[in-house]
Amino acid sequence: MKKKIITTTLAVALGLGVSPSLQPVQKASAQTVHQNNQSAVEAKADELIQLGKSLIGKAEYSTKEYKPTYPYKFSCATFIMYIFEKSGVDLATYNENYMMKQGTYVPRNQLQKGDLVFFDSNKSDNEPSDHVAMYIGDNKVIQMADPKQKIVITDMNSKPYYKENYLTARRVLPSLLPSNPATLEDQIIEDSYNLKDKVTMGTVNNESSKKFTGPGFVNYIYKTNGVQLGTTNIKEQMKLGTTVSRSQLKKGDLVFFNSEKGSKIPSIVAIYAGEQRLIIPNSNGINTRVLLVDYYDQHYITAKRVISKKEIPAKKPVLNTNKADQIVNFASNLIGKAKFGYTYNEKALTFTSAGFTYYVYQNHGIHLQSKMASQQAKVGQVIQKSNLKKGDLLFFSTNHQGKKITQTGIYLGNSQFISLFTNGKVEKESLNSTWAKKNYVTAKRVL
At residue 41, the pLDDT reads: 87
Backbone angles phi, psi at 432, to 5 degrees: -95, 0
Task: Write down the pLDDT at residue 205.
Answer: 95
Query: If you average pLDDT over residues 249-269, what whole number do you get?
Result: 97
The segment(s) of the chain belonging to CATH 3.90.1720.10 are 8-171, 184-305, 312-445
Measured distance CA(338)–CA(167) in Å, rounded: 46
pLDDT at 176 over 80: yes
List, for residues 325-369, the tens digit of each pLDDT value.
889 988 998 999 999 998 888 888 999 999 999 999 988 878 898
pLDDT value for 37: 65
- Give residue 253's region: left, alpha or beta (phi > 0; psi -120 to 50): beta
What percent of the chain shows pLDDT beyond 90?
69
Please report which confidence band the pLDDT of residue 19 belongs to, taking 50, 70 and 90 as the band edges. very low
The pLDDT of 424-441, averaged and rounded, is: 93
Residue 401 is predicted with a pLDDT of 66
pLDDT at position 400: 59
Span 184-305 CATH architecture: Alpha-Beta Complex (3.90)
Axis crossing angle, helix 353-362 with helix 311-332, rounded to the nearest 10: 140
Res 145: pLDDT: 96
* pLDDT band with cut points at 50, 70 and 90 for residue 402: low
pLDDT computed for residue 313 by the predictor: 41
**Can you name the residues that pair with 419 across neighbouring β-strands?**
427
CATH homologous superfamily of 312-445 equals endopeptidase domain like (from Nostoc punctiforme) (3.90.1720.10)
Q: What is the mean pLDDT of the chain?
A: 87
Q: What average pLDDT does range 166-185 have in this prediction?
A: 89
Average pLDDT over residues 213-233: 95
More confident residue, 2 or 357: 357
Q: Helices then strands (H, E): number in the chain?
A: 13, 24
Taking the C-alpha atoms of residue 253 and residue 269, their distance in angstroms, rounded to an integer, is: 10
C-alpha 177, offset from chain centre: 7
Instruction: Give Dmax (Cα) for the chain.
Output: 70
More confident residue, 127 or 5: 127
H or E, element range at 257: strand 254-257
Comparing 171-175, 251-255, 319-323, 341-345, the range with the smallest average pLDDT is 319-323
> Pick the residue with more confidence: 310 or 415?
415
Q: What angle do CA 439, 444, 447 make, to 5 degrees?
A: 140
Q: What torsion, rounded to 10 degrees, do the Cα atoms 107, 110, 112, 115 define?
A: 0
pTM over 0.75: no
pLDDT in tens, 273-307: 999 999 999 988 999 999 999 999 999 999 999 99
* Burial class of residue 224 in the structure, from the number of CB atoms within 10 Å of its CB (0-12 exposed, 13-18 middle, 19+ buried): middle
Architecture (CATH level 2) of domain 8-171? Alpha-Beta Complex (3.90)
Question: For residue 78, which amino acid is it?
Answer: T
